[in-house]
Amino acid sequence: MTSNVVAYYDKNNFKKMELYYESNIVTQVRLFFTCINNIKNNVLIISEKHFKDKLTYFHEKHYMKEGKKYIEYYTNNEINSYFEIEKTNEFKITKGFSPNGKMFSREKIEYNIKGKAITEEQLIFNADGAKLEYKINL
């Protein structure tokens, strides 16, 4: 089985459509729509083979609240996760949450006085409750 993707762009080099081929047959069509206000990465996917629903709509909402950036990820207008990003000159902390507010990941990057990343910490909670942690010096 061979797989191939063909992308189409408008005159401003904005991606408008992707066609996914398998064995020379289109198995998926992705239509990309312009961002409106805080709604970004609007994609409508048409596929009987790859998704439960024939039509699937993905998008993101970006906004600021109390000095933190939030990105919410939606599938068919239902939130499936969101991230909270806090950034200062010294660090950046990104926390991932489920739709019901349960944290499933945390990343902390520390920066030196010149703004270069010097350490990274990851904390990931698996569905079974197991926790994975690591810290590396960059």
pLDDT band at 77 (very low <50, low <70, confident <90, very high): very high
pTM given for the model: 0.83
- Domain extents for the chain? 1-62
Query: Can you give the pLDDT at residue 2?
Result: 58
Query: Can you give the pLDDT at residue 69?
Result: 97
Alpha carbons 21 and 28: distance in angstroms, whole number: 7
Mean pLDDT, residues 78-82 taken together: 97
* pLDDT tens sequence across 5-31: 999 999 999 999 999 998 888 999 999
Torsion angle of the four alpha carbons 79, 7, 15, 46, in this order, in degrees rounded to the nearest 10? -30
